[in-house]
């Protein structure tokens, strides 16, 4: 059986890709957390607290944009929801949480995500609102 040079380290390569993606997610979530605390502080009031907070919703909106408008049903069953620790949430809850996000937080989150991905400008669409970040 012949071994080819490009195929020798495929497990290490795949593990490096997974770890890079996880590291990027963790760094991006830290940025989103700081943005959400600055732009929309939590208010205590009557009623039940939301199942998905502003930082989780902004993170999921950016992930959805990164995956070329991933359907909400697919997003609800993705590993990103499990990574956030909100597994079992219905897809309509995610959709409503993204719809309720303040536009400024959503803009800043998309701008930060585009900066982390290394592009100088990006076309983003969130809930039928198209905007360009430079």
Per-residue pLDDT tens digits of the chain, which is 134 residues long: 444 455 566 677 677 666 666 777 888 888 888 888 888 777 777 888 888 888 899 989 888 887 788 899 998 998 888 888 888 899 999 999 999 888 888 888 888 887 777 655 555 665 555 656 55
Of 79, 82, 80, 77, the residue nearest 58 (C-alpha): 80
The span from the CA of 33 to the CA of 111, in Å, is: 14
1 by Cβ neighbours in 10 Å (0-12 / 13-18 / 19+) ranks as exposed
Q: Do the Cβ atoms of 64 and 80 come closer than 8 Å?
A: no
Q: What is the pLDDT of residue 25?
A: 80
The span from the CA of 100 to the CA of 12, in Å, is: 41
The span from the CA of 129 to the CA of 131, in Å, is: 7
């Amino acid at each position: 059986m012949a071994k080819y040079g490009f195929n020798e380290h495929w497990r290490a390569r795949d593990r490096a890709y997974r770890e890079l993606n996880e590291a990027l997610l963790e760094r991006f979530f830290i940025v989103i957390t700081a943005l959400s605390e600055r732009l929309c502080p939590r208010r205590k009031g009557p009623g039940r607290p939301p199942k998905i907070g502003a930082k989780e919703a902004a993170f999921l909106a950016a992930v959805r944009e990164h995956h070329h408008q991933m359907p909400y049903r697919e997003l609800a069953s993705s590993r990103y929801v499990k990574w956030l620790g909100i597994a079992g949430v219905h897809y309509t809850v995610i959709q409503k949480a993204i719809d309720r996000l303040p536009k400024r937080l959503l803009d800043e989150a998309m701008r930060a995500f585009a900066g982390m991905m290394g592009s100088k400008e990006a076309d983003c669409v969130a809930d039928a609102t198209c905007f360009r970040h430079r």
